[in-house]
A and B are shown apart, each in its own frame.
Chain A
Amino acid sequence: GENVEQHPSTLSVQEGDSAVIKCTYSDSASNYFPWYKQELGKGPQLIIDIRSNVGEKKDQRIAVTLNKTAKHFSLHITETQPEDSAVYFCAASMGSTLTFGKGTMLLVSP
C-alpha cells in the first residue's frame, strides 16, 4: 500500500518567516495530494490540494509543489502569522482513500 513520510515533525518560526513542510510518497500511481490544517480539538481543514498533472499551485500565502519523478511534494507558507500555528497533514491518494503523513506541528511566534 501507499506510505507517506512527512518532515519535520515540529517546526518553529518567527512571525513573518516562511515555513516549508515536505512529504514523500511511495506509490507512483498516487495522483491527488491534499494538505490539511488541524487546530486543537478540531477536525482537519483542507487548505490546498494538487493533482499529478500540475507541478505547482498557489493560493495567497500558501503554495504546494509536486515532483512526480522524485515522488515528493511540499507545502510552502509565506509571511507566517500566529494563527497559522496548528498541525499540518499531507496526504496522498490514487482513488478515494487518503493515506496521511504523521503531521507537522507548526509554531509561529509573534
Chain B
Amino acid sequence: EPEVTQTPSHQVTQMGQEVILRCVPISNHLYFYWYRQILGQKVEFLVSFYNNEISEKSEIFDDQFSVERPDGSNFTLKIRSTKLEDSAMYFCASSVGTPQYFGPGTRLLVL
C-alpha cells in the first residue's frame, strides 16, 4: 500500500539555523500539506499546496516558513531561522481530494 514518507525522522538544530524537512507524497496525489504538533498540544495545520502554489495557510505559516515541490516526487518545508518554539513533530500529508494521508513525521528539536 502506498505511503507518505518523510526524512529525516529526527533532526536536532541550533536556534537560528535553517532546516529543510522532506516528504515524498503518495505518487498520484495532487494536494500536499504540512501540519505540526508541539509536544502535548493539538495537531495544527500549517499549509496546503496544489498545482505548484500555496492554496491555504495558517497564521503559524509566517515568512520564516516556505514550501516547495522541487521535482515530481518531493515536497519540502523550509524553516529559515529556527526558533526554540519551532520544536515539534512535523507531519506531511497528501491527498487526491479527501481524505488526507499522513506520513510518520519528523521530530525537530531546536536548541
Is chain B found bound to chain A in the same assembly? no
Residues of B at the A interface (CB closer than 8 Å) are none
Residues of A at the B interface (CB closer than 8 Å) are none
